Amino acid sequence: MTAEQPAETSWQQILSTLASHRLRGLYAALVLGQRPEMTAKERQKLLASGLVRDDGGALAVAPDVFKAALAAARTPEPTGPERFLAGGLVVLPHRAADRLELLGYLRDSVIAAGETMAEKELNARLAEFTTDVPMLRRAMVDYGFLIREPDGSAYRRGPANG
């Protein structure tokens, strides 16, 4: 790799380069094994895009440039309890360990230690994670992650499970 070649090519750089009719034509000629005439500026733009590399003074099509750009743009899959929240929580995880991990994560996300809040405020915070707020609130109470006042007026963080 030369100093002219980027370490990582983004899909934006590739599309920006290919948006130019002239550069697209030069790249196509290189893909077809031709050695088209080009200016130093055009050469630099092709190199900077990552579409080609300097192969001893001659330009060569960079292998797997599109695959690498797509891989770099990929959003990593969530791990931990966040994996159950991608797209919004619909049902609780079936495995008990996953369920407890998720409920603990949600408790830590919606209510601070020592904090007490009304049901309306709790519902608003839980709504950031699910459309089935009553299901989630009930599960958090049932598993001891939240403590509900007997009259239903307020909730606080529970000591159970962490």
Residues 135-151 pLDDT 10s: 999 999 999 999 999 99
pLDDT bin (cut points 50, 70, 90) of residue 1 is: very low
Per-residue pLDDT reduced to its tens digit, 13-52 = 999 999 999 999 999 999 999 999 999 999 999 999 999 9
Q: What is residue 51's DSSP assignment? A: S
Q: What is the pLDDT of residue 4?
A: 43
Q: What is the pLDDT of residue 8?
A: 66
Cα 107–Cα 125–Cα 128 angle in degrees, nearest 5: 100
Q: What's the whole-number average pLDDT of the chain?
A: 89
Q: Among 78-92, 100-114, 144-158, name the one with the lowest average pLDDT.
A: 78-92
Q: What is the pLDDT of residue 69?
A: 85
Mean pLDDT of 59-80: 85
Cα 9–Cα 10–Cα 12 angle in degrees, nearest 5: 135
- How far apart (Å, rounded) are the C-alpha atoms in residues 17 and 92? 47
Q: Concatenated DSSP letters for 68-98? A: HHHHHHPPPPP-GGGGGTTT-B-S--SSHHH
Token readout for 102 is 């998720």
DSSP H helices, 4-160, are 11-18, 21-31, 40-49, 65-73, 96-110, 119-126, 133-142
- How far apart (Å, rounded) are the C-alpha atoms in residues 111 and 51? 50
Mean pLDDT of 74-103: 88
pTM of the model: 0.56
- How far apart (Å, rounded) are the C-alpha atoms in residues 50 and 47? 5
Token readout for 109 is 């996300």
